[in-house]
Every structure is written in C-alpha cells, then in structure tokens.
Amino acid sequence: MLNFNSPIQNEKKYNEIKITEVEPTIKINLRSNKREFSTKIGKILSILPPTEANTSSGNENYSLLWLSPDEWLVYSKNKNQNFKDQIELEKKLFNEISKINQGAVTNVSDHWVLFNLKGNKIYDLLTKSCPFDFNEFKKKKGSVSQTIVNHIDVIIHNNENNDLNLFVRRSFSEDLWLWINDSASFL
Amino acid sequence: MFIINCPYCGKRDQLEFSCGGEAHIERPKQPTELSDDQWAEYLFMRKNIKGVQFERWNHTHGCRKWFNMVRDTSNDKIHATYKMGEKPPIK
C-alpha cells in the first residue's frame, strides 16, 4: 500500500442511491482451524472471530467477517487509517499467528476494492444481477454474504439499514463500478 | 436453476456452485500394485447413472468448501447435502 492508486476515485449519486469508493482501507485475510486462534485474535483486535455462518463482529475500529468455517476477513472502518498503524497491526497478527504456525495472515488490502452503497434502492440494484436472496440479509445488521453480482465475485457486508459495504477484486472493480452506475441510473 | 443447501452457508442458487463428479471413490492403498486397467478404472471410470447419485460439489462463489450431495439425476431433486468426511444420510 505504499503507492496506492485507486482504480475508481469517485463518488456518484443517483435517485435514492449513493455509491462511494472507500479506499485506502486495510484488509487482512485470516485462516486457521486451531483452538488458540480465537483467543489470540480477541487479544489483538478486541474482537472475537464469528463462528456463525454469514455473520460478522466488530468494534469502532475494525470489522471481522466470516468467510468460511476457517477463514475470516478483517478490515478497518476508518478510511485513511494511519499507515504506520496498519503496518503495526499486520506485523502483530503475523508474529502472533503466522510465525508460530497458528494459521495464515495475508494482507489483501490491494486485492479487494471496497465500495459503499447507501440508499433505499440498493437491494433493488443488486437483485438486478445477483442470485442471492436478500430478504433475511437486509433485516440483520452485520450479515455477510459471498456471492456474485453481474458474474463477478463479491463479499457483501450489511453495515446497517440500507447501508452496505461491497468488496470486489481489484481487476474486476472498474467493470463492476461501471455496471453499478449504469444500473443505478435506470432505477 | 435450482437451490442448493450448502452445509456451511445455507441455501444458495446453483449459479454459485460447481460439480466435482462422483463422491466416495477411495484411492487405492497400494497404487503401485495395481495393473494399468485397475488404475484407469479408479482414475477415469465413473458411474453416471440415471437416478440417485452421490456427488462432490464445491461452493465456488461462496465459502469455497467442498461437500457431498445426494441428487437424483433424472429430475435434479436434491435429497441431502452433507460435509466431507460425514457418512451419507441416505443409503
């Protein structure tokens, strides 16, 4: 993240929809099936990794998303978090987990691009090209879903009512951004 | 199009999954002692029956975990899904 170049650098407003790119934010992928892993993460981040499928946990600084029974994604809620703090966090996680074979810690900050979608019609927008059933998802704050939107793999995190964060792979981000803008203009 | 119940994530659309072929095929314990025909039988030959079949599936666009499924290939009815290593709920 030394020479961070955002692929989008934009914010768009449509009828009842606001789309923003939330970058740069630190994102770290965590993998482990060891017992001590949860306690270690709890000590470092002050959040316990969620064990229930399609859920998340968090505090004022970080969100921890369930990706699979042995995989989680932690990301910073603060855009433009101090670069030194990001490095410190990654180092701490790496030393406490990866280095002693308790799991794998991978910095995926530049792998995922984060979009924030707000507004009353965000679910109308997504259901245009997503097979996922959002009925239960939108009722539960903190829900997480990995699915496909317009044939592109995404991770969707329900922040609060009509406010969600969408992670998309960097190489697909511009394509999805264009599709979202195009679709939103027809709502 | 049908709905598949992933043992880890819950009900999802078929679009998110990919099929990995027949399940419960055991790797021979002593491959070096097999003849070429026996090895080819293990490696390539699959039943592909019309009716209830045990298959391996992967939730490719979700949790990326492998699981097993009991599916009727004649009408695509899914009888059960279960995690890898578990015994089939239906015989």
Q: Which residues of A touch B13 (CB under 8 A)?
A: 131-132
Number of domains in chain A: 1
Domains of chain B by residue range: 3-83
pLDDT in 10s for each residue of chain A, 187 residues: 555 666 677 788 988 899 999 878 899 999 999 989 999 999 999 999 999 999 999 998 899 999 999 999 999 988 767 778 888 999 999 999 999 999 999 999 989 999 999 999 999 999 999 999 999 999 999 999 999 999 999 999 999 889 999 999 999 999 999 999 999 998 8
In this structure, is residue A178 part of a structural domain?
yes
CB within 8 Å: A148 and B16: yes
**pLDDT value for B83:** 96
Minimal C-alpha gap between A172 and chain B (Å): 15
Domain that includes residue A70, residue range:
14-184
d(CA A54, CA A180): 23
pTM, whole model, 2 decimals? Answer: 0.91
pLDDT in 10s for each residue of chain B, 91 residues: 689 999 999 999 999 999 999 999 999 999 999 999 999 999 999 998 999 999 999 999 999 999 999 999 999 999 999 999 999 888 7
Minimal C-alpha gap between A173 and chain B (Å): 16
**Which of B11, B14, B16, B83 is the best mutation test for A, with the most CBs of A within 10 A?**
B16
Buried b (16+ CB within 10 A) or exposed e, A108-142: bbeebbbbbbbbeebbebbeeebbbebeebeeeeb
In this structure, is residue A169 part of a structural domain?
yes
**pLDDT value for A133:** 94
Q: Which residues of A touch B15 (CB under 8 A)?
A: 131, 148
Domain of A141, CATH number, reads: 3.30.1360.120
Minimal C-alpha gap between A3 and chain B (Å): 30
CATH number belonging to domain B3-83: 3.30.2270.10
CB within 8 Å: A54 and B15: no
Q: Taking chain B, what is the end-to-end CA distance rounded to the nearest angstrom?
A: 26
Contacts across the A-B interface (CB distance below 8 Å): 34
For residue B1, give the 3-state DSSP assignment. Answer: coil
For chain A, strand residue ranges (E) read 11-14, 17-21, 27-31, 56-58, 62-68, 71-76, 104-107, 112-118, 144-149, 152-160, 163-169
| ipTM of the complex model | 0.88
